[in-house]
Amino acid sequence: MASLICAVPRTREALLYSILLSSRFINNPTPKLKSFSIQLSIVPQPHRHCPCSSSSSSNGGGVVVVSVGKEEGQLLRSPQLVALEYSDLNLSHNFSQDLGHVRIRQHVNPLCASLSVPAPVPDWSEVYRDSTLPLMVDIGSGSGRFLMWLAKRNLDSKNYLGLEIRKKLVKRAEHWVNELALRNIHFMFANATVSFKQLISTYPGPLMLVSILCPDPHFKKKYHKRRVLQKPLVEFIVDSLMPRGQVLLNISMICKTGHIC
């Protein structure tokens, strides 16, 4: 048994969000995961404290645990699960020395001077084979594998843009995109909070979907301004989406006050 853990309050709404996270494992597992049994359970987290609220979250805090196991005693850790989920991409791990050491935990301060200016707008017609196709943008794309997985399945119908503030992750994603020879996906080193508007205003096609998956929560109140989801960005997303456009949001926690943490 192994666990993929996503912290959520024990409300029905929040549970739905975390089921969204796990739904790819449950509803559409890769062939390699099909023979595994999958269980969802909620474990209370009495000590988890949400800084937006004056009280501790013992009134509703908890973690949803997705357990995946084949036989008693067999353990799969969540990074292994994620690797299995994307195994059909066949991504290589032979990088140059520079790319090989991507430290996943390293955080970047989005308020530093160099990240406070919008990223340069690329020539979209050079970036995509057909730059008029509907666009999906993943804000904080991390490793980028989720977008690559989608791009490979929608080669001629959609374009994909990953915005990521950690340069090394972007370089590694670009390396993988070249390997996969995909012409409908692009990754940019950018602070999405300050770059999204300019990038999307210049894209020739419609904005179809914006995903924000597990944004860094920045729990401490003094760091809330580092969160990627700031009001002007949310307003711009709402204004720019095409009719029937969608937002895919996967968050770790909604506190009592309704804040996304």
Contact 210, 241 (CB under 8 A): yes
Q: Choose among 118, 124, 127: nearest CA to 233.
A: 118
Nearer to ligand SAM, 62 or 110 (CB): 110
Which residue of 191, 197, 203, 208 would you call a contact of ligand SAM, by CB under 6 A?
191
Smallest distance, Å, CB 132 to ligand SAM? 25
For position 223 contacting ligand SAM by CB under 6 A, the verdict is: no
Q: Residues with catalytic annotation?
A: 216
Going 192 to 217 to 26 to 33, the CA torsion angle's sign is: positive
Among 164, 172, 207, 253, binds ligand SAM (CB under 6 A): 164
Listed in sequence order, the residues at least 6 apart from 171 whose beta carbon sits closer than 8 Å to its beta carbon are 98, 99
Q: In what order do the strands lie in the sheet with 207-213?
A: 185-189, 159-164, 135-139, 207-213, 241-250
- From residue 81 to residue 100, the character string flagging contacts with ligand SAM as x (rule: CB under 6 A) and all else as - is --------------------
User: Binding string, 131-150, against ligand SAM, x = CB under 6 A?
Assistant: ---------xxx--------
**Edge-to-edge strand list for the sheet holding 61-69:** 2-9, 61-69, 37-44
Over the window 193 to 212, marking each residue x when it contacts ligand SAM by CB under 6 A and - when it does not, the resulting string is x-------------------
Q: Is 162 in the site for ligand SAM (CB under 6 A)?
A: no
Contact residues toward ligand SAM (CB under 6 A) are: 108, 110, 140-142, 163-166, 169, 191-193, 213-216, 228
